[in-house]
Amino acid sequence: MKREGPFRTRASYQMKTAFCAVLTFSLIVGVAQGQPASAVTGDNTGKANESLSAKKGALDSYLAENYLISGLAKGDKHDWDGAIADYTQAINLNPEFADAYFNRGFSKVYKGDLDGAIADYTKAIEFKPDDAEAYFNRGFARGYKGDSDGTMADYSKVIDLKPGFAAAYHNRGLVKADKGDWGGAIVDYTKAIELNPDDAEAYHNRGLAKANKGDWDGAIADYTKAIDLKADDAESYNFRGLAKQQEHDSAGAIADCTKAISLKPGEVGAYNNRGLAEADKGDLDVAIADYTKAIELQPDDAEAYSNRGMAKADKGDLDGSIADCTKAIELQPGFAEAYNNRGITRKQKNDLAGSIADCTKAIALQPDDADAYNNRGIAKAEKGDLDGAIADCTTAIKLEPDDAQAYNNRGIAKAKKGDLEGEIADCTKAIQLRPDFAEPYFNRGIAKDQKGDLAGGKADKAKALELVVAEKQFKTKAIQLNPNNAEANSQHEIVQK
């Protein structure tokens, strides 16, 4: 996600073009005529000291401002060390000089000294408690330190002090997104856009938040607006492609990712996401080539290895698939999806124990992973653990109530336990969720036959056959258009119980 800030350096007065030379002076205290110096009264001595102190204070303030000016000039040239030295001189001369602390904090951010920057912004706030920009920059530094609560508090304070500060809403939205509060993030991004309608990054980040909430249409609209405002925004093309893929617009996804690559040839994510769209279309060789390119550009890209592993599995290269998923796990030991994918492939190799172990690990890493529960349920059913299979599919359904495959799989396990009514109910639900899903029609038809409803069974099996024929006709057309389409060339089978 894209973050705004820190706020640019500033001075509390008009900047001068040249650094003023340090002035020297002498202060002579007059002695009353006819009196010895030792006889000067205490009152007169006090007035002289006050005058001296006032003149010295004025001179120190003057010199401090000139050091600040010099520091700003050095900062403009990215001479951060020189700038910090000048700001420090200004602070030595005027320890309550808020702008000197502010600008020294800015220079420290660019030097990577976040703790020092935070300390300086805190001092600036101490001397200027209503300084919204100091709160903003401290929030920025705290964010890079990983202090999300402190960052949130600072951006909220900015908004209290300066309600029209669009960047504060934007960056607070980023903090909320990092915490998984996608709804709250969307509210803040929306306010930032209201205050600054030309903020392409706010549209981009709101699109990310909507995507994480599953609002793919809303995400696509926001990415499109970001692209309208910033035509060379490779990231927005890339993420819009990913959103289109989720909407099953593979052609649109490929076009967007290709555009992202043309704008930024080293955009690893675009190769990875284009590979996903190509795999979904069945162009497995092309997908593997894209994943391989992503790996060449970023050899530690665990996602690219995992995705290439699944494409290899779809091509029948099960050993190659397991090797890629294993590499992904080596690179990212907490990568739940790689364990899940390797579990799928191990099940295809009839390594049911290995499949269950991998899916279990995926669940331990990501307890809300419905796919891992579903896949473990399939492996358990094949091992004969029907109660375990039903329990896993039930959990998958709780996590994703619209998962037609989980209902179908649970129905199969129930049928094997002799619960034909349960299977019919689950297959009916799967059909309601996916009316073009042939397998639950076929399985429900078999269950109806076994219950003596031969007419119902015949109708369901006829519908399943109709859907299979329609799919085969579609794939035949796909093969004519693209003879290398591996998915279209694969033989579709209805799994019988």
Q: Where are the alpha helices (DSSP H) in 30-181?
A: 42-76, 80-93, 98-111, 114-127, 132-145, 148-161, 166-178
Answer yes or no: is pLDDT of 28 > 50.
no
Answer yes or no: is pLDDT of 159 > 80.
yes
pLDDT confidence band for 2 (50 / 70 / 90): very low
Task: Indicate the residue type of 139.
Answer: G
Distance CA 45, CA 474 (A): 104
119 vs 85, 116, 124, 132, 398, CA distance in Å?
16, 5, 9, 16, 48
Calculate mean pLDDT across residues 244-249. 93
Answer yes or no: is pLDDT of 367 > 60.
yes
Helix (H, G, I), strand (E, B) or coil at 292: helix
Distance CA 22, CA 426 (A): 87
Give per-residue pLDDT as tens, 452-466.
Answer: 999 999 999 999 999
Short-list 347, 412, 407, CA closest to 383: 347
393 vs 260, 346, 374, 453, CA distance in Å?
38, 19, 5, 27
Among positive and negative, which fits the CA dihedral 120, 122, 127, 128?
positive
451 vs 418, 423, 448, CA distance in Å?
11, 11, 5
Give per-residue pLDDT as tens, 77-110.
Answer: 999 999 999 999 999 999 999 999 999 999 999 9
Give pLDDT, residue 430.
97
Calculate mean pLDDT across residues 419-436. 96
Helix (H, G, I), strand (E, B) or coil at 227: helix
Answer yes or no: is pLDDT of 121 > 90.
yes
Answer yes or no: is pLDDT of 125 > 90.
yes
Give pLDDT, residue 60.
80
Give pLDDT, residue 480.
44
Answer yes or no: is pLDDT of 291 > 70.
yes
Calculate mean pLDDT across residues 164-171. 96
Distance CA 121, CA 150 (A): 13
Task: Indicate the residue type of 287.
Answer: A
Q: What is the DSSP string of 69-110?
A: HHHHHHHHTT-HHHHHHHHHHHHHH-TT-HHHHHHHHHHHHH
Between residues 47 and 232, the one the model is more confident about:
232
Structural domains of the chain sorted by starting position, each given as residue range(s) with its CATH number in brackets: 1-14+53-162 (1.25.40.10), 397-497 (1.25.40.10)
Residue corresponding to tokens 């579990």: 343
Between residues 349 and 32, the one the model is more confident about:
349
Answer yes or no: is pLDDT of 495 > 50.
no
Give pLDDT, residue 481.
43
Give pLDDT, residue 51.
56
Share of the chain above pLDDT 90, in %: 81
Give pLDDT, residue 472.
65
Exposure letters 404-442 (e unless 16+ CB within 10 A, then b): bbbbbbbbbbbbeeebbebbbbbbbbbbebbeebbbbbb
Neighbours of 208 (CB within 10 A): 24
Q: What is the DSSP string of 384-406?
A: T-HHHHHHHHHHHHHH-TT-HHH
Between residues 33 and 130, the one the model is more confident about:
130
Give pLDDT, residue 475.
45
Neighbours of 34 (CB within 10 A): 6
Strands (E) located in 377-458: none
Give pLDDT, residue 58.
75
Give per-residue pLDDT as tens, 203-230.
Answer: 999 999 999 999 999 999 999 999 999 9
- For the chain, the average pLDDT equals 86
pLDDT confidence band for 21 (50 / 70 / 90): very low
Calculate mean pLDDT across residues 409-416. 96
Give pLDDT, residue 13.
24
